[in-house]
Amino acid sequence: MKGWITDLLRTAWGFLFWNIRKGWFRLRGARGRCPCQHPSDSGAAHVTGCEAVIGWARPVRFRRVCPLLERGTDGRWCCSVSAQEVRPFWGRATALLAAVLVSVPEPVMVRLPLLRTPVSCASMAAEPFCTRMVWAVLFRLRAF
């Protein structure tokens, strides 16, 4: 249970942390050390180890943040692209944020605490549909 919870928190933080670092790497023109790959490795695809999965209970969960992660032939977790091709995945981060915002019931999130207005039946009826729709989009993007 503890490993699952820590991986969940690392996933939430990882969307922001690793996308910022990878984005900065791309803005520098993919020069220098790649932020998520082992510095002692060559930087070649399918060989270079992933530094971002160190400490995870199940490293396969990091694929939610970065789908470039793969298991190498020797059993260690590697990057499927070379260091120059590493890129951020802001679409996944945005999709997760949208899913969280939609899955929190809108009346609880906005109307009741801020406006102190009564909740309409139409907004309560539309909530389950919106939540299912966002999760269907996320499943289609393979974010989860």
Instruction: Report DSSP letters for the chain, one per residue.
Output: -HHHHHHHHHHHHHHHHHHHHHHHHHHTTS-S--TTB-TTS---TTTSBBGGGTT-SSGGGGGGT-TTEEE-TTSSEEESS-GGG----HHHHHHHHHHHHHHS-HIIIIIIIII--PPPHHHHHHHHHHHHHHHHHHHHHT--
pLDDT at 37 over 60: yes
Mean pLDDT of all residues in 78-93? 87
CA distance 14 to 62: 8
What is the residue-averaged pLDDT of the chain?
A: 76
Q: What integer pLDDT is reported at residue 98 of this predicted model?
A: 82
Nearest-CA neighbor of 5 among 47, 46, 45, 58?
Answer: 58
Asked if 79 and 36 touch (Cβ cutoff 8 Å), the reply is yes
Position 142 confidence tier, pLDDT thresholds 50, 70, 90:
low
Quick one: pLDDT band at residue 6, thresholds 50, 70, 90?
A: confident
Mean pLDDT of 71-81: 87
Tokens found for residue 120: 């309409």
Average pLDDT over residues 49-55: 85
Q: What is the pTM of this model?
A: 0.64
Could you give the percent of the chain with pLDDT greater than 90? 0
Tell me what pLDDT residue 41 has. Answer: 79
